[in-house]
Structure 1
Amino acid sequence: MDLKKWNSVKRSGGFKRKVKNNYNSLQSRTLIQSDRAQAGSAENRKGSVSHLNARFTNQFNQNSTIIPCSSFAEVEDSCLFSEDDDSYSSSENEDNVDKIDTSTKNDDFRDHYKKWAIDFNITQVALKQLNVILNKRMPCIVPLDPRTLLKSKKEIQIIVIDDGRYWNNGLIECLKTILQYLNDKPKSISLNVNIDGLPLFNSSKHQVWPILCNIHEKPNVPPFVVGIYEGTSKPSNVSAFFHPFVSELQELMSNHLKIASEDGVDTLIEVKVRAFICDSPARALVKGVCNFNAKHGCLKCTVVGEYSHKSHTVFFPKTDCPRRNDADFRSKKYGCHHKYDSPLLALPIDMIEQFPVGDSLHIIDLGIMKRLLIGWRDGNFGTLITKWPTNVIEKVSQFLLCCQMPKEIHRSVRSLKDLSHWKGSEFRTFLLYLSYVILKDVLDNAAYHHFLLFFSTVTICTSETHFQLLPVAEIMLKQFVDNYGKFYGQEYITSNVHNLIHVVEEVKRFGTLQSFNAYPFENKLSLIKRMIRKGNQPLQQIANRLLERQYNIEVENLINDTNHNYPTIKSYKYGSKLKTVIQLESFILSTDNGDKWFLTNNNHLVELRSATCNEGHILIIGNRIENLRNDVFETPMKSSYLNIFVIYENEIKQTEAIYNITDIKCKLVSVSYNSNIYFAPLPHTFKK
């Protein structure tokens, strides 16, 4: 027996019991021999002891192996051990089971420890110090070097492109890594592609241009990084920048994606490109056309802009120009619109239709809504009829700070004083849930009804429930653009305002505004920026962090999240009140003020009071509002067509009623203002 096995055996409980039994047995024999010695001669005593020693020595030589020992006690233990003994076999099996169980627990600990380090972006310096502390308490539980734990790559392959550097993560490899975790593998997938610039530091021009993708059929799968360009400006050699991506995409679109399975049968998945979702500068870079602020900058129609010395911008006064098409674009029939040949021309895609301009983050939230709020507050439009005085600005700010949003809206809207720091989601919250309430009191009546054209159209385009109104929405949005100059100045009909006339067409093609906006990609960009820990070699740092993550952590989290059975109900005491929470697949209902209102399939307005579970079915006990529900506005259409209502807070009449979960049509956002309660639906909660 070797030393390693001996050290393991001698610590087992079975071995210790065997040693104790043998010791007691020898002690008894010694006492017997001692009694016999007292009755016999000294020579007989000597022979008896010699016979015993010889017998024991022979047994040791036949059944044991000499083991290097550090003390006499270890020699004694080894002499009392026999490999052929059944009691040792039992103890060895027990010890092996204990070792396997301990090893499994240690592996699980290291996996959880690694996941924690990646999720919270723990630096390697901090992780190394923590590893030292852990190993002092539990020796060898984790590697001392964090690079071993995180499985960091020793070398990152970087491609030099002119003045920049490019790291290719691989489209095919990314898709295989993600899809292998999904149990229900789709027969075909369509990719949304995003290209955008991301400045890294405030004190330098360093920036990265990642190529991001997500799978449209799997909206909960986070976007993944295909490749990243890093330099002091945008990629100057667009062909070299896109070459690895285009090559892999051509292979996928021609031969499909092959996913190996455990049973040895390969799965072929068809791969298509759905849309390139970018902001205006990135769209111009990708397509090889002039910029959005050029006179021929519209990507959808052949309108020619005019330069204004008043607004110092190019504006587009016409809305009825001929549309561009893919064939003419590839034939370069649009003259000044073209700058260079895009590498994407090698792909079988529509160079006009698959480049939407209606990304709601950039054109609506950070575009029109932000421009209107800044113009109303600062009065920097061409006309001053919509300029707010100081008391109105304060009134609007107080209203915004007092509004309580439901839990699905994670970011509260701040004061107008912080308008320059608002995020896109704050502009979206203001537009969909707050604007129609407060603007009625602070805008000129004509300007308010002009704004409602924009508001109603966006509301229609955010939910498939309202898609039967899309022809009306197209007319309203055209009226909004045509009359924009009357309220804000003709020279302020910039690219964003003009592109609104193309939004409804894209909604008809792609679906709701949420299905082709850049919000998921912007979240990924913020994650990429947090991966940089110092100024040296930022591209290598990002590549290392992404490879350590290996996507499986995000996808495994997604799989765990999708394994829940909804709906669920939970009740608990919060102070002196009993709180009830109903968790549905895409939203929650609770007795909290911001989450207690919902609309039924019969258009009943209901306030949640409590809920109970009866034979596996959740029953909702609520107060049905019996008041006459009024329309908030009647032009350009009745607000009730959009499920938007107002009731008088002091005259509410309620009747207790019981509903099933299936009776819920959508969750409502409630806003109290001037003794009225306004209700608007959460678009994503409509029953599909």
Structure 2
Amino acid sequence: MSKVLKDPRYVSRRQQRRQINEEYRKLCNTNVISSVSRHIPATVCTSTDTKSDAAEFNSSNITTDLQLNSIDSDNIALSKPIHGHNVPLDARTLLQAPRKLEIIDMSPGHYYHFGLVQGSVRSVAKYYSTENCPKELQININVDGLPLTKSSGSQFWPILASVEADFYTEPFIVGLYHGSNEFMKYFTEECSKIIDVRLSIGNRTVPIKINAFVSDTPAKCFITGTKGHNAYFGCGKWVQEGEFIDNRVTYPETTARLRTNESFRLKTNEEHHKKTSILENLCINMILDFPIDYMHLVCLGVMKKLLQFWIKGSKDVRMTNFQRKRASDLLLLLNKSISKEFARKARPLEEVDRFKATELRQLLLYTGPIVFRDNLPRDKYNHFLCLSVAIRILASPEYHIKLNDYARELLQYFVESFPSFYGHQHISYNVHNFIYLCDDVKLKGPLDKFSAFKFENYMQKIRKSLRTSSKPLQQLIKRNQEECIIDVQYEKFEYPIIKYAIPEEINEGKNTSNLFNIVIFL
């Protein structure tokens, strides 16, 4: 039997790991010294010989899985020095994972507060220096649910935040709740104190301000204590009663009295409120600081609905089979010309029910006007074009203020003519709120300044950080704190911008034969 075990052909993977483990413990003295500090000596991180020693160490039969194998012990010590360096026996020693977590019991779930100021400090250190320091640090807040598994109702409710800037800034976690309950208490308490907080950037101090709460409609109604989009008084911008048409609530009016911060706090329209929100304790505007998110309203809402009308709608609305196939083939043909800056390549229109928000945005702003030009009736195409041009204006950093009134007229026409094309029963909450989108852009900036795209992307990072379905809250807390141990440094982000040059800028008045061949990369 011993001869069989010595033959590698008859040794199982578990037995191989045991043999390797025994060889490893012979190399490293197995005497556990509990008094040795669990922190890795600086020589491991700073020595130039570490890489070569590690390469020599990995070239042996000892696998990397074994090096990072978890050893569940209260006294995880460092091994005997190998090649003059102390190597940790456990990956948690290297990552400095916390042992005790201050998780707050909020029945029927649990909550952990990471801190708004702590995340803001890391973002400032990463994206700002003394040269580009802002006068005021504006923060966008996002709250949304994140289902964890398909086999149960387990889900996260993360409170995410990001620094609002002219460039991309990665969101960070402020608080995390696992369950379903009122979990904004600790976030509200910290936000009430940040008025007196100033962050130091070099030799300057910068105040912090909450710029906007960016969420989809169900999440916004949940944290503000108001009724949903399918209620008679569910509109959060206008005071009007919806009409029940064809088993759905519609909002046909395009002019109504606007809600204000004072009327919201006084609850003058009682039918709109379900409870008093804890966010009312903050010095924020309960109407203006909750802008409309165009990712859910425009892309996943109206644009997806239009595609479903054209592909699977009634006979008087949908395209013919020939038009649908021609449009789908043209859309796939454009994949050759789509650059890598776009998140996804186009898919056939028959898969419209599985389209993501980035695909719908690409159709709305870029490929849609080309694909549907000869495949939709002229009146429906012009109606769609009004939406495309208006959203393009509102998303433009250059024209969102200059052409704001023109975009409002286009959206006003789009909403008023929507019933004639698709029926009065489809004037839903999403279509109705188009008119107020221009006011949010005037106040908060271009659409991408307060969209949920980057927050939804960060949700995938949260999901991928979970290894098992058990104790998801504890897992995510440890992964986040392991990441926070790494010191962040300022990185200057420079992206090439293509710009057609003016001849005088190049030749100082000399004649230029071909202007459009002159390109400057800024």
Shared topology, TM-score over 0.5? Answer: yes
Find the aligned partners of 1:127 and 1:510 in 2 and give their Cα distance: 50
User: 5 Å matches for 1:436-515?
Assistant: 436-467=369-400, 468-515=402-449
- 1:164 Cα deviation from its structure 2 partner: 0.8
User: 5 Å matches for 1:67-216?
Assistant: 104-105=46-47, 128=68, 140=85, 142-181=87-126, 182-184=128-130, 185-216=133-164
- 1:542 Cα deviation from its structure 2 partner: 0.8
| Bigger helix share | 1
Question: Is 1:294 matched up with 2:239?
Answer: no
Farther off after superposition, 150-159 or 167-176: 167-176
Q: Is the 8 A contact 1:143 1:149 kept in 2?
A: yes
- 1:420 Cα deviation from its structure 2 partner: 2.1
Q: Is the 8 A contact 2:225 2:273 kept in 1?
A: yes
Query: What is the CA deviation profile of residues 381-406 of structure 1, one whole-angstrom value per residue up to 9, with x for unaligned ones?
Result: xxx42212222222122111111212
Find the aligned partners of 1:225 and 1:277 in 2 and give their Cα distance: 14
Query: What is the CA deviation profile of residues 137-178 of structure 1, one whole-angstrom value per residue up to 9, with x for unaligned ones?
Result: 967564220001111011111111120110111112222333
- 1:485 Cα deviation from its structure 2 partner: 0.6
User: 5 Å matches for 1:31-46?
Assistant: none
Question: Secondary structure at 1:464's aligned position in 2?
Answer: coil
Find the aligned partners of 1:547 and 1:527 in 2 and give their Cα distance: 15
1:520 equivalent among 447, 451, 454: 454
2:520 equivalent among 661, 669, 673: 661
Aligned equivalent of 2:12: none
Q: Is the 8 A contact 1:386 1:443 kept in 2?
A: no
Find the aligned partners of 1:101 and 1:146 in 2 and give their Cα distance: 18
Q: Gapped runs of 5+ residues in structure 1? A: 1-98, 114-123, 565-584, 590-597, 603-616, 625-653, 665-688
Q: Is the 8 A contact 1:212 1:226 kept in 2?
A: yes
Question: Secondary structure at 2:318's aligned position in 1?
Answer: coil
Q: Is the 8 A contact 1:211 1:227 kept in 2?
A: yes
Aligned equivalent of 1:335: 270
User: 5 Å matches for 1:254-265?
Assistant: 255-259=196-200
Question: Secondary structure at 1:661's aligned position in 2?
Answer: strand
Q: Is the 8 A contact 1:473 1:504 kept in 2?
A: yes
Q: Is the 8 A contact 1:386 1:444 kept in 2?
A: no
Aligned equivalent of 1:17: none
- 1:560 Cα deviation from its structure 2 partner: 3.5
Query: What is the CA deviation profile of residues 109-128 of structure 1, one whole-angstrom value per residue up to 9, with x for unaligned ones?
Result: 69x99xxxxxxxxxx96761
Find the aligned partners of 2:485 and 2:251 in 1 and give their Cα distance: 44
Instruction: Kindly tell me the number of residue pairs found equivalent between the two proteins.
Output: 455
| Bigger strand share | 1
Question: Secondary structure at 2:211's aligned position in 1?
Answer: strand
Farther off after superposition, 170-179 or 208-217: 170-179
Q: Is the 8 A contact 2:120 2:163 kept in 1?
A: no
Aligned equivalent of 1:419: 352
Question: Secondary structure at 1:547's aligned position in 2?
Answer: helix
- 1:658 Cα deviation from its structure 2 partner: 5.2
Q: Is the 8 A contact 1:164 1:230 kept in 2?
A: yes
CA RMSD after TM alignment? 3.2
Find the aligned partners of 1:427 and 1:378 in 2 and give their Cα distance: 16
Question: Is 1:549 matched up with 2:483?
Answer: yes
Find the aligned partners of 1:460 and 1:520 in 2 and give their Cα distance: 21
Question: Secondary structure at 1:220's aligned position in 2?
Answer: coil
TM-score (normalizing by structure 2): 0.80
- 1:341 Cα deviation from its structure 2 partner: 0.7
Aligned equivalent of 1:242: 184
Question: Is 1:399 matched up with 2:333?
Answer: no
Question: Secondary structure at 1:229's aligned position in 2?
Answer: strand
Q: Which amino acid aligns with 1:536?
A: S
Aligned equivalent of 2:61: none
- 1:108 Cα deviation from its structure 2 partner: 7.9
Query: What is the CA deviation profile of residues 15-37 of structure 1, one whole-angstrom value per residue up to 9, with x for unaligned ones?
Result: xxxxxxxxxxxxxxxxxxxxxxx
Q: Gapped runs of 5+ residues in structure 2? A: 1-40, 56-63, 72-78
Query: What is the CA deviation profile of residues 219-270 of structure 1, one whole-angstrom value per residue up to 9, with x for unaligned ones?
Result: 4331110001102xx32xx2xx1111111111111x1235497xxx7x5321
Find the aligned partners of 1:659 and 1:247 in 2 and give their Cα distance: 56
Aligned equivalent of 1:252: 194
Q: Is the 8 A contact 1:366 1:424 kept in 2?
A: yes
Find the aligned partners of 1:106 and 1:190 in 2 and give their Cα distance: 42
Aligned equivalent of 2:259: 324
Aligned equivalent of 1:225: 173
Question: Secondary structure at 2:331's aligned position in 1?
Answer: helix
Q: Is the 8 A contact 1:256 1:268 kept in 2?
A: no
Q: Which has the larger radius of gyration?
A: 1
Q: Is the 8 A contact 1:172 1:257 kept in 2?
A: no
Find the aligned partners of 2:362 and 2:410 in 1 and give their Cα distance: 21
Question: Secondary structure at 2:177's aligned position in 1?
Answer: strand
Q: Is the 8 A contact 1:361 1:424 kept in 2?
A: yes
- 1:561 Cα deviation from its structure 2 partner: 5.1
Find the aligned partners of 2:442 and 2:406 in 1 and give their Cα distance: 13
Query: What is the CA deviation profile of residues 512-553 of structure 1, one whole-angstrom value per residue up to 9, with x for unaligned ones?
Result: 111110011111111001111111100111111111111757
Find the aligned partners of 1:601 and 1:521 in 2 and give their Cα distance: 39
Find the aligned partners of 1:135 and 1:657 in 2 and give their Cα distance: 68
Q: Is the 8 A contact 1:178 1:552 kept in 2?
A: no
Q: Aligned in 2, Cα 1:506/1:109: closer, same or farther, shift over 3 Å?
A: farther
Find the aligned partners of 2:201 and 2:50 in 1 and give their Cα distance: 26
Q: Aligned in 2, Cα 1:420/1:125: closer, same or farther, shift over 3 Å?
A: farther
Q: Aligned in 2, Cα 1:552/1:319: closer, same or farther, shift over 3 Å?
A: farther
Q: Aligned in 2, Cα 1:463/1:657: closer, same or farther, shift over 3 Å?
A: closer
Question: Secondary structure at 2:192's aligned position in 1?
Answer: helix
Find the aligned partners of 1:449 and 1:167 in 2 and give their Cα distance: 50
Aligned equivalent of 1:283: 220
Find the aligned partners of 2:113 and 2:190 in 1 and give their Cα distance: 11
Q: Is the 8 A contact 1:195 1:209 kept in 2?
A: yes
Query: What is the CA deviation profile of residues 564-585 of structure 1, one whole-angstrom value per residue up to 9, with x for unaligned ones?
Result: 6xxxxxxxxxxxxxxxxxxxx2
Find the aligned partners of 1:502 and 1:301 in 2 and give their Cα distance: 9
Find the aligned partners of 1:292 and 1:475 in 2 and give their Cα distance: 24
Q: Aligned in 2, Cα 1:173/1:100: closer, same or farther, shift over 3 Å?
A: closer
Find the aligned partners of 2:199 and 2:395 in 1 and give their Cα distance: 35
Q: Is the 8 A contact 1:386 1:447 kept in 2?
A: no
Q: Which amino acid aligns with 1:659?
A: I
User: 5 Å matches for 1:423-434?
Assistant: 423-434=356-367
Which structure has more relative contact order (CA 8 Å, sep 6+)? It is: 2
Q: Aligned in 2, Cα 1:443/1:536: closer, same or farther, shift over 3 Å?
A: same
Query: What is the CA deviation profile of residues 304-347 of structure 1, one whole-angstrom value per residue up to 9, with x for unaligned ones?
Result: 11122x3x321111110110000111111011001111111111
Find the aligned partners of 1:306 and 1:418 in 2 and give their Cα distance: 32
Percent sequence identity over matched residues?
A: 31
